[in-house]
Each structure stands twice: as structure tokens, then as C-alpha cells.
Homo-oligomer: A and B are copies of this chain.
Amino acid sequence: MNSTCEPSRGGDGRDAKAGKDTVRRHNLSLVLRAVYEEGEATRAAVAARVGLTRAAVSSLVEQLLAGGFLSERGKTFSGQAGRPGTALRVADTGPAGLGVEVNVDYVSVCVVDLAGTDRVRLTEHRDNRGVPPKEVLARAARMARRALEEAAGRGLRAVGARLALPGLVSGGSVRQAPNLGWDRVGAEELFAAGLGVLAVGVDNEANAAALAELWFGEAGRASGARSFVYLTGEIGVGGALVVDGSLLRGAHGFAGEIGHLVVDADGPRCRCGSRGCLERYAGQAALLRGAGIEESAGAAGVAELAARARRGEPRAVEALERAGRMLGLAVSGAVNLLDPDAVVLGGVFRPLMEWLGPAAERELAERVVSGLWAAGSGRLRASSSSGDAARGAAAVVVRGVLADPAGHAAPPLG
């Protein structure tokens, strides 16, 4: 038999091909991410950045252009002698990510392109409490399909979807979402059934929002805070931990539940089963109630609260200061435990920062052992407006494309 004559050579040949494929896939990602991070770059600049030859980069760029991952943009002069280079950017058509946030009183859906830019956004305010999870997720899937159609009209093709929910998420299921009243709900399956063929992942809503902050917000990108605690004020209070630029998910995926730090051991019962949790004092429901505004007023109620505080209405100001103290108390615990660069407040805390912030900072100044959190340290910050859970969830999908464009090409690259 011929095949027995060269058994190991044949094997080696396959291995060598597999090795070359791996290197090529890796280098495609290297080049694509270099362009993404530069925003706009010539082939020469990419070559200098990634440490490959100009010829190798040109070949990889051709494949990425053909696959629709990159686009070219006019001629750019390098400012140095020699022929002008063409500027490359990541494509604003082609592969995209779908992100869906299902929260207690709204659902928000977005499609982001490879650059992470929000290109289609649909939001519906509606109380999801008391509605069967299946119905909530089916409605979210209908919204998602509308968003995908609109995105398709702009030349965007979603390669995956990610769902963000305010609860403990594990392996595609919601173990518990106290404020939605959900208990062991197979969210991935229910949502995917309504959506169709697209691959779906599920994450905690605060985790997704924290990733948006890390990738697009000031806390991450601009000011260089690579370790931060993220709190998001919703009906409850969500939380997430970013350590050295990555989410700290915990042993079972349940880390970050800062909303359930206890600020008063004998306080009122929380939906989670404990007592005196932070969210009983600083969640949207508690804030509105404390200020004498109807809890069900939702986003309009938050705007009303801010307006009353701006007019100096004592009840509104007091409710916000009390919540700020409780926030400061819980956050000081998180800071003493984790020693982050910053703490970022998102969701409804953002428009209320003017009143919550100073009260929280007083607690931090008194209670953080290191003394690094004195008032005026600037370590307690409002989130940037660019970061929300739907965008973060969608960005997880496109990050997957940046990490392996060859795995997301249609038709295959090369």
C-alpha cells in the first residue's frame, strides 16, 4: 500500500497546514484589531504596530477587505516621503452584533457594527413584572427581529445575539431575578425560539453595562481605569466588577451583587430573602417612594425627582441624600475589599449624581481604610452616556468577530 510508505510525512503535512491556518487566523485578527484600535490606519502603520512585514500585512488586509471586515477610505499622505497610503477602517457594514436588555420596566434592543457603534436602537418602556417570562422574551425577540431587518437595510448582518437580564445568570438560564419575579427561567432557549437561527448568549445586565463602560466609556478607554466597580441603578441595583480590564465573574458567574450588600442588618426584607440590602434604599423604586413620587412613574418619575431636587424640594433632596449615604456605605465596603481605581455609577444614578455623589463621597472619605477616597479624589464617577447593557451585550458579539474574523466570514476567507 502506498499510504504506508509515508505515514508520518502525510501526518506532518496535515499538521503543518493546520499550524499555518492557526497562524493565519491569528494574524487576521491581529491586523483587524490594530485597525479597530487605531480607528484609522494605513497598511504601513498596521505593519509597524503588529510587527509583521508590509507584504504580509497587505495580503491579510486584502482578505479582510474581501470579507467585508475592513473598508478603504481615500488616500492619506503619511507626512513622510514616499507614496501615499490608503486609510483603512473597520467596515460599517457587514458583520454586526445584536444586544438585547430585558429589564424590569423596559426592553432595549440594539445592533452595533464592528466598531461597536450603535446603529439601530429600539426601546420600549413597559412593566415586565407579573408577565410570564415566555411572553416577555417573545416580545423582546419580536423587537430584535425588527431591529435586525432595519440593520439588514443598512448592510449589517448580525453574527450573534446576546441577552442581558437583571439577575443571576448561569449557562443560559436565569437562576433568579428577584425584581422581575423570575426563578429558574431558561431565557436563552425561550429567546432563541422567538429569534430564529442566530446564536444567543445570556449575561447579567450589570456585567454587560460594565463592559460597555470599559470598552466605550471614559472609565475604561480614556482615563485608563482598568479596575472598577460598576453600579447600575434600575428598579433594583445591579453591580459588576472589572479587574485589570476583565469582568470578575466569580466561581459560578454570580459575582458583583453589590445591590445586596447589607447597609442595615435589621432593615426591611428584600426580595432576595435578606434584609436591609442596598437596593431597598437606593434602587429606583426606593428613590421615588422616598421622594413621594409614584413608583410606577418609571423614567418620567426619575426626571421628576431630578426636577424637584433642582428646585430644592426638601423631600426630594433628603431622599437622594439618604440614598447617597447608603450607596457610599456599600461602595466603601466594595472598595475596602477590592481596591479598584474607580467606582462608576450608571442607570438612574447618572442623572441623579449631583445629589447622590456628595453624600456618597462623605461616606467613602470616612470609611475607606486606604484614605485614597477623600472628597474630590474623582474616583466616584457617573458612567459615560455611551455605555448601556444592550450595547455592551452587542459588543461582546462583535469582539468575538474581532478576535477571529475567519471564524465569522461568509463565504470563508482566504
Interface residues, chain A, with chain B CB atoms under 8 Å away: 168, 175-176, 178, 226-227, 239, 241, 243, 248-258, 260-265, 272-275, 329, 332-334, 336-341, 366-367, 369-372
Contact = CB atoms under 8 A, between A and B. Distances in A.
Contacts of A239: 337
Contacts of A264: 265
17 contacts: A175-B371, A176-B370, A239-B337, A243-B243, A243-B248, A249-B339, A250-B338, A252-B339, A253-B339, A254-B339, A256-B337, A256-B339, A257-B369, A258-B336, A260-B336, A261-B333, A264-B265
Contacts of A258: 336-337
Given A243-B248, A262-B367, A255 B176 contact: no
Contact of A248 (B333, B338, B341, B370): B338
B255 A338 contact: yes
B369 A176 contact: yes
Name the residue in A239, A329, A338, A371 with the highest tally of chain B Cβ atoms < 10 Å from its Cβ: A338
Contacts of A248: 243, 248, 338
A337 B254 CA distance: 8
B338 A260 contact: no
A337 B369 contact: no
A318 to B, nearest CB: 17
A168 B366 CA distance: 16
A249 B256 CA distance: 17
A319 to B, nearest CB: 18
A333 B262 contact: yes
